[in-house]
């Protein structure tokens, strides 16, 4: 019985304090919400970064469709020549790791074109 009285007294005092100092818990909750929203916004990146990512993906899709047309018309060898000509500048700037990946993708012109568009636009 004494425990119930003590609990009731505690909650009465807590409620009295909360009514008098309501701005303190509100400020703490606002700060926590601000931190959560701020870190989530930073993690996702800004709208400008999202726009760049979408543009890069659209460029990769466009490049792969163009290369697919060349492959269908003139064959894989001609497609590799077109890729080399279109991405000459990007291929010179590639790191050793990416150069090795380019060599492994030589058999698939469409995948090679997508890779070069993505890597080239990332290094701009």
76-114 confidence digits (pLDDT tens): 666 777 777 766 666 666 777 777 777 777 777 777 777
Same domain for 9 and 61, yes or no, is: no
CA distances, 94 to each of 21, 73, 102, 109 (Å):
61, 29, 9, 18
Q: Which residue has the tokens 């818990």?
A: 25
* Domain extent for 81: 47-122
Query: Is the pTM of the predicted complex or chain greater than 0.75?
Result: no
Q: Distance (Å, rounded) from C-alpha 45 to C-alpha 93?
A: 26
CB atoms within 10 A of CB 87: 20
Same domain for 10 and 69, yes or no, is: no
Same domain for 33 and 51, yes or no, is: no
The DSSP secondary-structure symbol of 22 reads: T
Same domain for 115 and 63, yes or no, is: yes
Same domain for 77 and 103, yes or no, is: yes
Domain count for the chain: 2
37-56 confidence digits (pLDDT tens): 888 777 776 666 777 777 77
Same domain for 74 and 105, yes or no, is: yes
């Amino acid at each position: 019985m004494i425990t119930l009285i003590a609990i009731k007294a505690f909650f009465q005092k807590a409620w009295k304090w909360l009514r008098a100092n309501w701005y303190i818990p509100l400020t703490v909750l606002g700060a926590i919400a601000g931190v959560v929203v701020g870190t989530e916004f930073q993690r996702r990146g800004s709208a400008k970064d999202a726009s760049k990512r979408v543009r890069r993906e659209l460029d990769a899709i466009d490049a792969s469709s163009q290369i697919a047309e060349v492959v269908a018309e003139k064959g894989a060898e001609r497609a590799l020549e077109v890729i080399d000509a279109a991405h000459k500048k990007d291929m010179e700037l590639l790191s050793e790791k990416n150069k090795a990946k380019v060599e492994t993708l030589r058999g698939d012109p469409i995948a090679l074109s997508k890779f070069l568009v993505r890597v080239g636009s990332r290094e701009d």
